[in-house]
């Protein structure tokens, strides 16, 4: 379980410049590799073998990572900073935040990193984006922006962190603040062109703050104990104040209702939408999973309506095996 990437030595953190034990903080990051069944719903999109990082957050071997690495996983292996390999199982997964929890099934030689808060991390602040492998696989970064993030897969964060320069192997990596605390979990590589961030290349990080209200539920039940949001299974993009359907999940509600790639979504239940964030918020405001989602669309230059019987996204996934 090795990562084939190299961090420029000039970007690596220096323990002499840190007000905390750098090596101890970096030792909390483990390598994570998962195997997903071929027939898993997410296998085609995310692959049946996935690799990234996780961060030990408790002395009981609880590891926090980004959910796409562990969703539908049948086997999970983790490697700590000493090279010790330990199996794990999915302890929890949350669709809304994107966080995943893994419970180690053996002893990890890794300290638990203290949890911080992204609210105390400001634009321009120095941070460390750490992958498994100590200083050699960590990047001195800055927080370039804090703003809403809307993902094409029906995912929305009110405020995500964006860091630069990018870490080349970002999934599940630790964002460590100047006090040596965990401020977020790495999710994506992002490129952006705008007046504010010209040719931005960096990482999107999920803030740790949105884990805290749901952590107890995830540990006790494996999921958050409130009705799931409606999911329609559309993959959408935003361009020029328009929402465009790029694709639909096979067998998902949108495909079954006849939504097609190329459709422009201009409204939800008669309420106009001009962005992905607005699209999702209007859809989720209709009720819980199972509610009908009436979409106002433009197809081939003509107005139309497509009514979609929404679903619980997790109902399409293979349930984790119990250990």
Domain boundary (226, 258, 288) is at 226
Q: What's the confidence (pLDDT) of residue 319?
A: 81
Q: Per-residue pLDDT tens for 208-241?
A: 999 999 999 999 999 999 999 999 999 999 999 9
Contact 30, 56 (CB under 8 A): yes
* Tally of domains within the chain: 2
Helix or strand run (H / E) with residue 248: strand 242-248
2 pLDDT band, cuts 50/70/90, is: very low
Q: Per-residue pLDDT tens for 182-214?
A: 999 999 999 876 555 456 799 999 999 999 999
**Residues 144, 271 share a domain:** no
Question: What is the extent of the structural domain holding 115?
Answer: 1-226
Contact 152, 237 (CB under 8 A): yes
| Rounded mean pLDDT, 252-277 | 98
Is 322 a residue whose pLDDT tops 60? no
Q: Per-residue pLDDT tens for 267-287?
A: 999 999 999 999 999 999 999
**Residues 284, 175 share a domain:** no
**Residues 301, 273 share a domain:** yes
Q: Per-residue pLDDT tens for 50-78?
A: 999 999 999 999 999 999 999 999 999 99
**Residues 127, 185 share a domain:** yes
Residue 321 maps to a domain: no
Is 43 a residue whose pLDDT tops 50? yes
Residue 98 maps to a domain: yes
Is 93 a residue whose pLDDT tops 70? yes
Residue 18 maps to a domain: yes
Report helix, strand or coil for 296. strand
> In terms of C-beta density within 10 A (0-12 exposed, 13-18 middle, 19 or more buried), how is residue 266 classed?
middle
Average pLDDT taken over every residue of the chain: 95
Domain boundary (226, 250, 274) is at 226
Q: What's the confidence (pLDDT) of residue 5?
A: 81
Residue 322 maps to a domain: no
**Residues 206, 71 share a domain:** yes
| CATH number reported for the structural domain that contains residue 141 in this entry | 2.40.10.120
Q: What's the confidence (pLDDT) of residue 200?
A: 78
Distance between CA atoms of residues 191 and 186, nearest Å: 15
- Phi and psi at residue 133, to the nearest 5°: 125, 15
Distance between CA atoms of residues 244 and 183, nearest Å: 33
Total-model pTM: 0.95
Residue 52 maps to a domain: yes
**Residues 86, 222 share a domain:** yes
**DSSP one-letter string for 49-113:** EEEEEEEE-STT-EEEEEGGGTTT-SEEEEE-TT--EEEEEEEEE-TTT-EEEEEESS--S-PPP
Longest dimension (CA), the chain: 64
Contact 32, 103 (CB under 8 A): no
Distance between CA atoms of residues 46 and 241, nearest Å: 28
**Residues 90, 209 share a domain:** yes
Residue reference for tokens 């250990």: 323
**Residues 280, 162 share a domain:** no
| Rounded mean pLDDT, 112-129 | 98
């Amino acid at each position: 379980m090795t990562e084939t990437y190299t961090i420029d030595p000039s970007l690596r953190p220096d323990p002499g410049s840190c007000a905390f034990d750098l090596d101890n903080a970096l030792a909390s990051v483990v390598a994570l590799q998962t195997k997903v069944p071929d027939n898993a719903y997410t296998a085609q999109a995310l692959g049946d073998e996935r690799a990234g990082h996780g961060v030990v957050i408790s002395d009981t071997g609880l590891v926090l990572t980004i959910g796409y690495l562990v969703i539908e996983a049948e086997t999970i292996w983790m490697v700590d900073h000493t090279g010790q390999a330990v199996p794990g199982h999915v302890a929890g997964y949350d669709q809304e935040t994107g966080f995943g929890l893994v419970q180690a099934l053996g002893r990890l030689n890794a300290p638990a990193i203290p949890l911080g808060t992204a609210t105390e991390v400001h634009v321009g602040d120095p941070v460390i984006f750490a992958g498994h492998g100590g200083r050699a696989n960590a990047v001195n970064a800055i927080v370039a922006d804090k703003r809403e993030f809307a993902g094409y897969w029906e995912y929305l964060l009110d405020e995500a962190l964006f860091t630069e320069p990018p870490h080349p192997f970002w999934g599940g990596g630790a964002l460590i603040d100047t006090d040596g605390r965990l401020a977020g979990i790495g999710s994506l590589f992002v490129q952006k062109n705008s007046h504010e961030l010209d040719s931005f290349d960096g990482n999107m990080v999920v803030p740790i703050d949105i884990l805290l209200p749901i952590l107890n539920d995830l540990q006790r039940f494996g999921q958050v104990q409130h009705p799931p949001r409606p999911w329609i299974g559309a993959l959408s993009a935003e361009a020029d104040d328009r929402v465009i359907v790029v694709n639909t999940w096979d067998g998902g509600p949108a495909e079954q209702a006849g939504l097609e790639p190329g459709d422009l979504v201009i409204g939800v239940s008669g309420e106009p939408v001009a962005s992905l964030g607005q699209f999702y918020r209007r859809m989720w405001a209709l009720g819980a999973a199972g509610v009908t989602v009436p979409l106002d669309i433009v197809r081939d230059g003509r107005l139309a309506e497509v009514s979609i019987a929404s679903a619980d996204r997790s109902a399409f996934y293979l349930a984790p095996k119990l250990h």
